[in-house]
Structure 1
Amino acid sequence: MPRSNANTKRGPSPSAITAVLALSGTVVALMQTLVVPLLPDFPRILGVTADDASWLVTATLLASAVATPIVSRSADMYGKRKMMVVCLAIMVTGSVIAAVGGSFLWLVIGRTLQGFASALIPVGISIMRDELPKEKMGSAVALMSATLGIGSALGLPMAGVLYESLGWASIFWVSAAAGTLLLLAVVLVVPESKVRTPGRFDFAGALVLSAALAALLLSISKGGTWGWGSEPVLLLFLTAAILLAVWVPYELKVSQPMVDLRTSGRRPVLMTNVASLLIGFAMFANMLLTTQQLQLPTATGYGFGLNVITAGLCMVPSGLAMVIFAPVSGRIIRVFGGKSALIAGASVMIVGYVSRVFFYDSIAWVIIGSTVVSVGTAIAYAAMPTLIMGVVPITETASANGLNSLVRSIGTSTSSAAVAAVLTSVSMTVGAVHLPSFEAFKDVFWLAALAAAASVLAAVFIPRAAAAHRPPTPAVAATELVVQGRVLAPDHRPLTPAVVTVLQTDGEPVDWSRVDAEGNYSVALPGAGRYLMVANAGGWAPMAEVFDFDGLTLQQNFLLRDRLELSGSVSAGGEPVASAMVTLIQASGEHVATTRTDDDGGYAFPLPVAGRYVVTMLHPVTHGAVAKKLAIDNRSITLDFAAPPVEEKSTEPVGA
């Protein structure tokens, strides 16, 4: 259905929506980097140790890890713009608390609340999928990813200037002002998406996941300071492992999980997330090493002795390059697909890191190497949400992108810990000071290049079909509505596992949904029209029907009537045999089920999973036995038995 001119005029322009959402990436990057230049001075300012001061970064990291999956899932359920407003309001509150608190404790609380800004990225990308035309989707996502780079590049020098000119509290006042302006822009420009998945929020799953992530990231971020073999770090790792071991089976069983692990475990999503973790690792090493190399004294032989502000300004070309290459990233995705873009971006990162090993004796070479890595990062980061949204249900885009963002943040945290470990273990003495040697930098460059190479390998295993993004057409974005329903058996009990797929009548895919433990599904349809809906449940014949959607009826149930089964009859001398025992055994020997024939000699089993089986029959009187092999796929099978004469009592072999 074409979008009307009236709707086009009334609604905000795609460019305005893109600009506002992309700015959220800048805000996220600012929250992560603003305090970095001040960390050496905070112990003196606040009267704490250097280890205590590091909590100003750790608190934000932990909060972002906990908030991202929770906020993303809430966005799918309660509204994406609404959750962006909530995140920005919390971030602004945290900025104000940090600015006026005046003590270390209040500063940590403020920085914790600022961590909620990280959830803006996956939620904003999901809004782009809902609201932007297809032809602008790739470049918009690429631009949003690029603003992470420009925000990081600007945050370092800006923090230094503000600190030296207006004092340390000014960086938090600027954060509060930026957050307030962005909040107003979101309210005024960004429409609220109609694509929602109502249901019950998985509070237990959210609580266990939050505790597991907090333990995992705290152990990673503090391992270098506390000691990787220390009792607190080992206890945190053990706690994370136990909580995840509890969380995974719970999420597989709960009706409406916090994270749909079955969808996340599909190869396109799984391999994209693996590649994302590795890209996050490789990307963060670039930011950590570049400014440090520029600031190290010239006496090291590879440092340049720049101050914080100048070193930060040297990162601006990297950020600008990410913005410049955003449209290039979008075009690569549009023409070649997300898989090719991810491989291309990771390959560029490899080239950048290898060049940094051999070309390091001038500021220009350092900036060029850093910029090349940033260009590769921009291309790879743009591809990730494209790949994710191309294969997950429309009603789960925010939570799926949230999980992808979380995986990337785990990669960056691991990178930070690895860089710190390498730089402290391979050192040199300059005067009376121990500093990392350039061999340590080379080791990290090679490590980052290997991580990028591993991400290429992971991307190779992403199915080619997943490379083509499936965003809505302009008409879809204007009128998308969520239709819900249930998949039921003839006795109206819910059927699970089951999947509902929606197609246009010309065969084009629209959406799909995995049925929860109560038989519920949700799919997003692009307005009124005629659709082909297919329901498929394990052990049942699939059902397809045409759905004439009037735009008002938002409920469509499926009643599957034909159960797939293994059935047959037992006879002797042409007469049915009642009460004969029939047993189903896996070819490997495990017992599956046993039943007895009815008065007409018939028996039936629910169709087991595909595989090779042996079916045996035992006559109730003569004890004549027969065994047959068969291979079961996803079709009903009829297997009849003829009992042997009394004197034979033999086994009748039948080929598979």
Structure 2
Amino acid sequence: MTHTAGAGRPRTGATFLVLCLGILSYALSQSLVSPVLPTIQHHLHTSQSTVTWVMTAYLLSASVATPVLGKIGDVVGKERMLLVALLALGAGSLLAALASSIGVMIAARVIQGVGGGVLPLVFGIIRDEFPRDRVSGAIGTAAALMGVGGGLGIVVAGPIVNTLDYRWLFWLPLIVIAVAAVATHLFVPESPVRAPGRINLPAAALLSAWLVALLVPISEGSRWGWTSGRVLGLLALAVLLAAAWIAVELRSAEPLIDMRMMRLPAVWTTNLVALLFGLGLYSLMAFLPAFVQTPPSAGYGFGASVTASGVFLLPMTVTMFFSGLAAGRLGLRFGARAVLALGAVLLIPSMVLLATAHAERWTIYLVAALCGAGIGFAFSALSALIVTAVPPAQTGAASGMNANIRTIGGSIGTAVTGSIITSGAVGGLPRESGYTHGFWFLAGAAAVALATTLLVPKARRATVAEPVREAGTLVPAADN
């Protein structure tokens, strides 16, 4: 089906602004809470181990909802499901703002996690609605905004709590979400591009089950013990459920995630790189603030407040935004794979610098700037590679899995990096050597990411307008 964003359809400029607002609202909801978990722990009278579920529950819910909502959007309509994702995000924010116990707060974060479907739905709408020559740049900017919103949340969380109250970490995003939902209804057209068929409920249930079985022990491994029966048992269960999920998908006439699509070289290699970059980004955002907040009496750190630690990450937010803006143009000229490699090239020296020279403030600012630029380039290129590698009817499902794999990488990365950093901790504080070894681990992951980009097939430079071959059939790369 062919259409243009012409007469009778809203202008793509207004549509794009609304889509960016939706992504920003989700990204802020994801990151605002992380720096203030101790504050939430104090106000809701709970333990440190329990309050971590405020983040874990959100990530688990988002991991399940992202690919499922992306697929449902492909079938029933992306604009409709984008509204559903935003409404769930808003409902969760409202419940979290009103929560008087940790149980209600965790339930609210589960509901918020359903908003993870925003990302693949936005990518699908861009591909369906925008002119071909604008798709790459628009996807790059939208993907960069996800990282920018994440960094911005960490920067502003401290001032919001100090000026207002921690509950405003949910009230303020709720206002943005409400505006985004109304604007989506008014300005985002319903795409005529549909994937035929119905939602494969057994596949959705198995996908949800193996993701939960995988991410729970990864998140709790350092507390339960990596060799404990619970961790090993859940990991084994995750393998069995994942195998069952793949078998169901392969035998299904209407799969939730098309395994033929996932086997495409451009798809599986891009997903592997996404796993590694997710590992680096989430780990850095989790542990760099903790590093700079450490009092100098420990032999390292700067004794920064929550607000000041956010300022250390401000360069990351700025460079991530501008590199995301530039990624689309660079991708059209040099190819998305080259932009992806550039992201890894910037990430490696920043991690090495962090591991070897972290005693000066300027080093942290430089590291944050380099990491932001590298991740901005990489996330934009990853999104473009996935969207242009699959037919339009599978954009939501493919983008959802790619975003999901980044989250899985982040869960693995924070768990492993946390174990490295906290090994040998004294008096509740990690040793400096723990951070050094953790940062070297992230440098190694960045080097592996660079090597993995060489496996990504090299596409012709006109990446967006090129056709894609799948299972011997020529499929148009865009439906404009």
Q: SS of the residue aligned with 1:39?
A: helix
Show the counterpart of 1:482. Answer: none
**Contact (CA 8 Å) 2:133, 2:465: kept in 1 or not?**
no
| TM alignment of 1:284-433, pairs within 5 A | 284-427=282-425, 429=426, 433=427
Q: Paired residue for 1:450, among 435, 439, 444?
A: 444
* 2:190 maps to 1:217: no
Q: Give secondary structure in 2 for the equivalent of 1:197.
A: coil
Q: Output the CA distance in 2 between the equivalents of 1:167 and 1:73.
A: 38
Alpha-carbon distance, 1:301 to partner: 3.1
> Gaps (5+ residues) in structure 1?
474-496, 503-509, 512-523, 527-656
Distance apart, 1:89 and its partner CA: 0.5
CA RMSD of aligned residues (A): 2.2
Secondary structure of the structure 2 residue equivalent to 1:501 = strand
CA distance in 2, matches of 1:91, 1:525: 29
Structure having greater relative contact order (Cα 8 Å, sep ≥ 6): 2
Give the Cα–Cα distance (whole angstroms) in 1 for the partners of residues 147 and 20 of structure 2. 11
Structure 2: unaligned runs, 5 residues or longer: none
Equivalent position of 1:637 in the other structure:
none
Asked whether the equivalents of residues 155 and 314 of structure 2 are also in contact (C-alpha less than 8 Å), the reply is no
Identity %: 32
Match of 1:187 in 2: 185
- Cα deviation, 1:371-406, whole Å, max 9, x if unaligned, reads 101100000111112111222112101100111111
In structure 1, what is the Cα distance between the partners aligned to 2:104 and 2:3?
Answer: 50
Secondary structure of the 1:453 match is helix
* TM alignment of 1:533-552, pairs within 5 A: none
Q: Choose from 125, 128, 144 the match for 2:126.
A: 128
Q: Provide the residue aligned with 1:462 in structure 2.
A: 456
Which residue does 1:103 correspond to in 2?
101
Q: Deviations over 1:352-382 (max 9, x none)?
A: 1122223322222101111101100000111
Q: CA deviation at 1:41?
A: 2.6
* Aligned-partner residue type, residue 62 of structure 2: S
Aligned pairs for 1:464-613 within 5 A? 464-465=458-459, 468-471=462-465, 499-501=472-474, 510=476
CA distance in 2, matches of 1:498, 1:336: 27
Mapped partners of 2:161, 2:201: distance in 1: 41
Shift of 1:252: 0.4
Greater helix fraction, Structure 1 or Structure 2: 2
CA distance in 1, matches of 2:57, 2:115: 13
Residues 442, 256 of structure 1: CA spacing in aligned structure 2 closer, same or farther, 3 A cutoff? same
CA contact (8 A) 2:2 2:479 kept: no
Greater fraction strand: 1
Q: In 1, Cα distance between the equivalents of 2:379 and 2:200? A: 29
Native 8 Å contact 1:354 1:445 kept in 2: yes
Contact 1:390 1:467 in 2 (8 A): no
Letter in 2 for 1:470: V
Could you say which residue in structure 2 is the equivalent of 1:117?
115
Cα separation, 2, equivalents of 1:310 and 1:9: 50
The 5 A counterparts of 1:24-103 are 24-103=22-101
Q: CA deviation at 1:467?
A: 6.6
Deviation sequence 1:64-100 (CA, Å, 0-9, x none)? 0110111010010011111110001011111111222
Count of equivalent residues: 478
Say yes or no: does 1:146 pair with 2:150: no
Aligned counterpart for 1:239 among listed residues 227, 237, 240 = 237
Bigger Cα Rg: 1
Deviation of 1:466 after TM superposition, in Å, equals: 7.0
Pairwise CA distance, 1:10 = 5.0
Counterpart code for 2:98: V
Closer/same/farther in 2, CA of residues 327 and 150 from structure 1, 3 Å limit: closer
Query: Cα deviation per residue 1:3-51 (whole Å; 9 max; x = unaligned)?
Result: 89xx646543333222222233322221222222221133332222111
TM-score (norm 1): 0.70
Could you tell me how far 1:199 is from its partner in structure 2? Answer: 0.6
CA distance in 2, matches of 1:42, 1:207: 32
Residue aligned with 1:463, SS = coil
Aligned to 2:169: 171
Q: Secondary structure at the match of 2:72?
A: helix
How far the C-alpha of 1:251 sits from its partner, in A, is: 0.7
Pick closer, same or farther for the CA change 1:372–1:463 going to 2, 3 Å: same
Scaled by the length of structure 2, what TM-score is found?
0.94
Q: Which amino acid aligns with 2:139?
A: V
Amino acid of the structure 2 residue aligned with 1:194: P
For 2:170 and 2:146, locate their aligned partners in 1 and report how far apart those are by CA, in whole Å. Answer: 19
Task: Give me the whole-angstrom Cα distance separating, in 2, the residues matched to 1:439 and 1:280.
Answer: 24
